[in-house]
Amino acid sequence: MSHILNDELKFTRRVFIRLTAVTVGLAASFEAVFFKTWAFAQASISGLPQPDETVEATMKRLFGNRTVSSGEGKIKIELPQIAEDGGNVAITVDASLPVSGATHVSHLYIIADKNRRPMLAKFSFTPDSGRAFVSTSIRLATTTDVRAVVEMNDGKLFAVSKNVRVTISGCDLPPQG
């Protein structure tokens, strides 16, 4: 009698383990198919960058159809002409535009045209910031134009750019094609 019970228990355990394995497999498949599609759709809706986004798509995602005016005389961008190491390129952006008052700087973006993801940084300013000034390091994939775009609180955009020759890539190169 105990022999029959043990066989029934083994059968029950085997069935339980198989059902558990099938359930986990189905759940993983469901997640792989539906969650990734949902997450990708959410990224598109929320304005997050897409994989291998072009600079045109980045500009459209960030600024829509707004006109970007020249920032010459308003924005000063300092970068080396030749970056020996694209993994550590010093950049300084100084905007002579106000950070307080009726019309003021709200954001400053640093964008590298030929990077896999062009938007490298976004800085926000408040009246307590004092001035719109940033000094940092960026990574560049290849020789490219680097843009500094200043967004005013009324939606106006000003930009300057400078070309940097990169001798050693600091990150993955975007796909060619």
Among residues 167, 148, 55, 136, which one has the least CA distance to residue 109?
Answer: 148
Q: What pLDDT shows up at residue 20?
A: 79
pTM of the full structure: 0.71
| CA separation for the pair 111, 104 (Å, rounded) | 21
Q: What pLDDT shows up at residue 69?
A: 96
| CA separation for the pair 7, 150 (Å, rounded) | 75
| CA separation for the pair 37, 30 (Å, rounded) | 11
Q: What's the pLDDT band for 139 if we cut at 50, 70, 90?
A: very high
Span 11-29, mean pLDDT? 73
| CA separation for the pair 115, 92 (Å, rounded) | 19
